[in-house]
Structure 1
Amino acid sequence: MQYLKSFFTIMVCLYIGKGIQHFTGIAVPGSVIGMLILFLLLALQWVPPCWAKASSELLIKHMAVLFVPVAVGVMNYYDLLTQNAWAIILSTLGSSFVILLVVGFLTQKLKGKQS
């Protein structure tokens, strides 16, 4: 019964997010909006964590299996990926470098305020 309640909670948030995305037409996927809704419900303590715990633990436990269809789907675009490999590599490295700089800068600022 625990799994049904937690699965239902997660699915309700997912479909609310998909509905918001469909009716508003925003560029954020409905699944991401649903996760934000679930996060807000949990953070505001409107939904007890035990309502989502059982299914979320099960999904995390089997997460590797859930990525297999995505990886196979990416292989449909192998030609496109190889054509744009340098752009993908450079943008990945560049964005990682920018994130590293921003996190380092913010860490130094916050650590300086604590001293």
Structure 2
Amino acid sequence: MAYLRSFSVILICLFIGKAIQHLTQLAIPGSIIGMLLLFIVLSMGLIPSSWAKEGCHLLIRHMALLFVPVGVGLMNYLDLLTANTLPILLSTIGSSLIVFLVIGVATHYKEK
């Protein structure tokens, strides 16, 4: 019963997020809006975190399996990926360095 309630909470937030994205035509995917909505609902205490805990733990436990279809789907665009290898690598390395820098500076100021 806990899994049913948990997945219901997660799916309701997902569907509301998709509806918000569809109605407002935002450039943010509906799944991200739904995740933010779930975070807001849980952090404000509107629903207890135990209601979503079981489903979240199950999804996190099997997260690697959920990436298999995405990896297989990338094989359809292998020629596009090889043609753009340098920009992809530069943007990945550059954004990672920016994140590391921001986290380092924020940690430095927080520890003072």
TM-score (norm 1): 0.92
Three-state SS of the structure 2 residue aligned to 1:65 is: helix
Once the two structures are superposed, the pairs formed by residues 92-103 of structure 1 within 5 Å of their partners are 92-103=92-103
CA deviations on 1:34-71 (whole Å, 9 max, x unpaired) are 01111101000001111111111111111111111111
Q: Specify every segment of 5 or more residues in structure 2 that has no aligned partner in the other structure, as ranges.
A: none
- Hey, what does 2:62 align to over in structure 1? 62
- Hey, what does 1:76 align to over in structure 2? 76
Structure (1 or 2) with the larger CA radius of gyration: 1
Q: Distance in 2 between matches of 1:47 and 1:83?
A: 48
Three-state SS of the structure 2 residue aligned to 1:47 is: coil
Q: Which moved more, 1:96-105 or 1:6-15?
A: 96-105
CA deviations on 1:57-107 (whole Å, 9 max, x unpaired) are 111111111111111111111000000000001111111112222222222
- Matched residue type, 1:18: K
Question: How many residues are paired up?
Answer: 112
- Hey, what does 1:5 align to over in structure 2? 5
- Matched residue type, 1:27: A
Three-state SS of the structure 2 residue aligned to 1:92 is: helix
- Hey, what does 2:46 align to over in structure 1? 46
Q: Percent identity?
A: 55
Q: Distance in 1 between matches of 2:109 and 2:53?
A: 36
Q: Distance in 2 between matches of 1:110 and 1:65?
A: 37
Q: Specify every segment of 5 or more residues in structure 1 that has no aligned partner in the other structure, as ranges.
A: none
Aligned alpha-carbon RMSD (Å) = 1.0
Q: Which moved more, 1:76-85 or 1:94-103?
A: 94-103
TM-score (norm 2): 0.95
Q: Distance in 2 between matches of 1:74 and 1:34?
A: 25
